[in-house]
């Protein structure tokens, strides 16, 4: 048996927004049906960076696959002519432990995050959502917009620009206009971007609340808090919202809810449930247009493994791709 090697370029051609949404929907339904096993993330910290490991096993919704994602973050890598984030996903056959494939994880991580935001938006935002606000306008903002456009017909995108000297907001808006033919607005007033929107997407590394004002009926996809101490949303908003997490254990440790839980600003009774429970039909999604909803996303291994398997399933029979005989 041979192991398939799948590069970033190979993945980008196959893992489109619609394909990624379909993959993560299966993963979250399996999670909600207790058909997935996912130990906690493990971390190694070095002087100039860190390494995380995320294993998962999905055994439902037509899937029987295991794997582990290993990803680094080294902010000073530019001086070595290397990207700051790199990593691989190894897909494992649960029947015998054989490594079916090794895949680049950077594109998968980016688009599976956006796809999960789109899945949450489909279940928790107003069906007639037209306006989206973005607090943060990097790669994650782009994949979130690209995937959300698959489930909602947005016509206006509002972007908060922290640094007026930066080109990131202008570049994001230019890309959005050309790609999706939407109107765009850039503002240095964060409240102007977080209010009067149907969907709000936050993707910053903030360690204190940035979002303090929202309008009734808003759905928030909170992606920035993915480690202890990070937070973007005022706990007052979390208390008044239908608060949904991707995984209770992981979110409590490092998601948007980690700081307010630790400070006893919110309690577990304020958390409505997990996204997988809604996907599986165990709990309702949005029930009124005036309801405020929040999805706290920390990034789960089941998202990576389901998307990696979707790519592998498309390529495993094609002879032109590289294979290695490890054993």
DSSP letters spanning 217-282: T-EEEE-S--STT-EEE-HHHHHHSEEEES-HHHHHHHSTTHHHHHTTSS-GGGEEEEHHHHHTTS
Q: Specify the pLDDT at position 227.
A: 86
pLDDT surpasses 90 at 234: yes
Integer Cα distance of 297 and 295 in angstroms: 6
Integer Cα distance of 157 and 184 in angstroms: 5
pLDDT surpasses 90 at 319: no
- Active-site residue set: 69
pLDDT band at 111 (very low <50, low <70, confident <90, very high): very high
The structure tokens 């839980």 sit at: 261
DSSP annotation of 151: T
Q: Specify the pLDDT at position 15.
A: 95
Burial class of 162 by CB neighbour count within 10 A (0 to 12, 13 to 18, 19+): middle
Q: Specify the pLDDT at position 253.
A: 92
pLDDT surpasses 80 at 277: yes
Please give the structure tokens belonging to residue 32: 């909600």
Is residue 251 a contact partner of residue 41, using CB atoms and an 8 Å limit?
no
Task: Give 288's contacts (C-beta < 8 A, 6+ positions apart).
Answer: none
The structure tokens 């949904």 sit at: 244
pLDDT surpasses 90 at 226: no
Listing DSSP states for 265-288 in one string gives SS-GGGEEEEHHHHHTTSS-----
Integer Cα distance of 176 and 184 in angstroms: 8
Q: Specify the pLDDT at position 221.
A: 98
Rounded to the nearest integer, the mean pLDDT of the chain is 95
Which H/E stretch holds residue 107?
helix 106-124
Please give the structure tokens belonging to residue 193: 């971007």
pLDDT surpasses 80 at 216: yes
Which H/E stretch holds residue 88?
strand 85-92
pLDDT surpasses 80 at 149: yes
pLDDT surpasses 80 at 165: no
Q: Specify the pLDDT at position 65.
A: 98
Q: Specify the pLDDT at position 23.
A: 98
Go through the domains of the chain in sequence order and give each one's CATH number: 3-108+303-324 (3.30.1780.10), 120-299 (3.40.50.720)
Q: Specify the pLDDT at position 327.
A: 87
């Amino acid at each position: 048996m041979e192991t398939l090697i799948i590069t970033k370029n190979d993945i980008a051609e196959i893992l489109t927004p619609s394909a990624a949404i379909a993959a993560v929907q299966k993963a979250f339904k399996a999670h909600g049906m207790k058909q997935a096993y996912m130990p906690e993330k493990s971390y190694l910290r070095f002087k100039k960076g860190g390494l995380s490991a995320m294993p998962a096993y999905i055994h439902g919704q037509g899937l029987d696959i295991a794997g582990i994602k290993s990803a680094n973050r080294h902010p000073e890598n530019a001086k070595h002519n290397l990207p700051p984030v790199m990593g691989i996903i190894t897909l494992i056959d649960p029947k015998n432990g054989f490594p079916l494939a090794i895949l680049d994880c950077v594109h998968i991580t980016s688009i599976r995050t956006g796809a999960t935001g789109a899945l949450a938006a489909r279940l928790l935002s107003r069906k007639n959502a037209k306006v989206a606000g973005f607090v943060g306008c990097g790669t994650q903002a782009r994949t979130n917009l690209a995937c959300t456009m698959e489930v909602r017909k947005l016509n206006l995108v509002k972007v908060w620009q922290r640094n007026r000297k930066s080109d990131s907001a202008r570049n994001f808006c230019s890309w959005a206009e050309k790609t999706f033919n939407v109107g765009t607005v850039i503002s240095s007033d964060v409240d102007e971007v977080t209010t009067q929107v149907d969907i709000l997407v936050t993707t910053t590394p903030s360690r204190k609340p940035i979002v303090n004002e929202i309008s009734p009926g808003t759905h928030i996809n909170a992606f920035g808090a993915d480690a202890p101490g990070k937070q973007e949303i005022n706990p007052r908003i979390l208390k008044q919202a239908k608060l949904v997490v991707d995984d209770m254990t992981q979110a409590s440790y490092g998601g948007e809810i980690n700081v307010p839980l630790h400070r006893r600003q919110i309690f577990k009774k304020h958390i409505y449930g997990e996204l997988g429970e809604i996907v599986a039909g165990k709990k309702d999604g949005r029930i009124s247009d005036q309801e405020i909803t929040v999805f706290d996303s920390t990034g789960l291994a089941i998202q990576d493994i389901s998307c990696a398997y979707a790519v592998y399933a498309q390529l495993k029979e094609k002879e032109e791709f590289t294979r290695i005989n490890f054993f």
